[in-house]
Amino acid sequence: MADAAVDKGWATLLRRNGDEVVARWSEAAAQSLEGRMTRAELERDVREMYDALVAGVGEGDRHTLADASFAELRALLADVSHTRARQGFSSTETAVGVFALKEAMLGVLEEHGDLATYRSFADFSRLIDELGLYMLEVYAQAREAVIGEQADALLELSTPVVKLWDGIISLPLVGTLDSARTQVVMEKLLQALVDTGSEHAIIDITGVPAVDTQVAQHLLKTVQAARLLGAECIISGIRPQIAQTVVALGIEFGDISTKASLSEALLAALRKQGTDVVRRTGRRDR
Amino acid sequence: MPTPVVVESGEIHEIHTDADVVRVRQAARTLALSAKLSLVDQTKLVTAASELARNTLVYGGGGRATVEVVRLGPRRGVRAVFVDEGPGIPDLDLALTDGWTSGSGMGLGLSGARRLVDEFEVSTDVGTGTTVSVVKWTR
Amino acid sequence: MDRVPILKIGDILLVSIQVDLQDHIALALQEDLGDKIVATSARGVLIDISALEIVDSFIGRMLSTIASISRVLDAETVVVGMRPAVAITLVELGLSLGGVRTALDVDRGMAMLAASTEVRDDELEPDEHGASDTVSAPGD
Does pLDDT of C133 surpass 60? no
Q: Assess if residue C61 is contained within a domain.
A: yes
pLDDT at A83: 85
pLDDT at B107: 56
| Chain A positions touching chain B (beta carbons under 8 Å) | 141, 145, 180, 187
pLDDT at B108: 53
pLDDT tens across A219-253, in order?
889 999 999 999 999 999 988 888 888 888 888 77
Higher pLDDT, C29 or A128: C29
Mean pLDDT of C67-75: 95
Q: Is B40 in CB contact (< 8 Å) with chain A?
A: yes
pLDDT at A60: 67
Best residue in C52, C63, C80, C82 for a mutation probing chain A (most A CBs within 10 Å): C82
Cβ contact (<8 Å) for B22 and C94? no
Q: Calculate how close chain A gets to C45, using CA atoms only, in Å.
A: 16
Cβ contact (<8 Å) for B18 and C86? no
Average pLDDT, chain C: 89
Provide the residue range defining the domain that includes B70. Answer: 6-137
Q: Assess if residue B1 is contained within a domain.
A: no
Q: Calculate how close chain A gets to B45, using CA atoms only, in Å.
A: 17
Cβ within 8 Å of residue C136, ≥6 positions away: none
Q: Which helix (H) or strand (E) holds A82?
A: helix A71-87
Kindly report the CATH number assigned to the domain that includes residue A84. Answer: 1.10.490
Give chain B's domain count: 1
- Burial class of residue B93 (count of CB atoms within 10 Å of its CB; 0-12, 13-18, 19+): exposed
C104 vs A187, A197, A225: nearest CB: A197
Reported ipTM: 0.89
Handedness of CA A71, A76, A77, A81 (dihedral sign): positive
Does pLDDT of A3 surpass 70? no
Residues A76, A204 within the same domain:
no
- A61 torsion bin: left (phi>0), alpha (psi -120 to 50), beta (else): left
pLDDT tens across A246-270, in order?
888 888 777 889 999 999 999 999 9
Does pLDDT of B102 surpass 50? no
Residues A176, A218 within the same domain:
yes
User: Among A155-164, B34-43, B101-110, which stretch is predicted with the lowest mean pLDDT?
Assistant: B101-110
Best residue in A169, A229, A255, A256 for a mutation probing chain C (most C CBs within 10 Å): A229
pLDDT at A61: 65
Of chain B, the end-to-end C-alpha distance in Å amounts to 24
Of the residues A103, A131, A154, the one at which a domain ends: A154
Provide the residue range defining the domain that includes A195. Answer: 162-273
Q: Which helix (H) or strand (E) holds A191?
A: helix A179-196
Cβ contact (<8 Å) for C103 and A230? yes
Mean pLDDT of A81-99: 83
Of the residues A97, A119, A154, the one at which a domain ends: A154
Does pLDDT of C117 surpass 70? yes
Give chain A's domain count: 2
- B74 torsion bin: left (phi>0), alpha (psi -120 to 50), beta (else): alpha
Kindly report the CATH number assigned to the domain that includes residue C92. Answer: 3.30.750.24
Closest of A256, A210, A212 to residue A236, by C-alpha: A256
Residues A97, A113 within the same domain:
yes
Kindly report the CATH number assigned to the domain that includes residue B55. Answer: 3.30.565.10
> Cα angle at A30 between A24 and A32, to 5 degrees?
125
pLDDT tens across C30-56, in order?
999 999 999 999 999 999 999 999 999
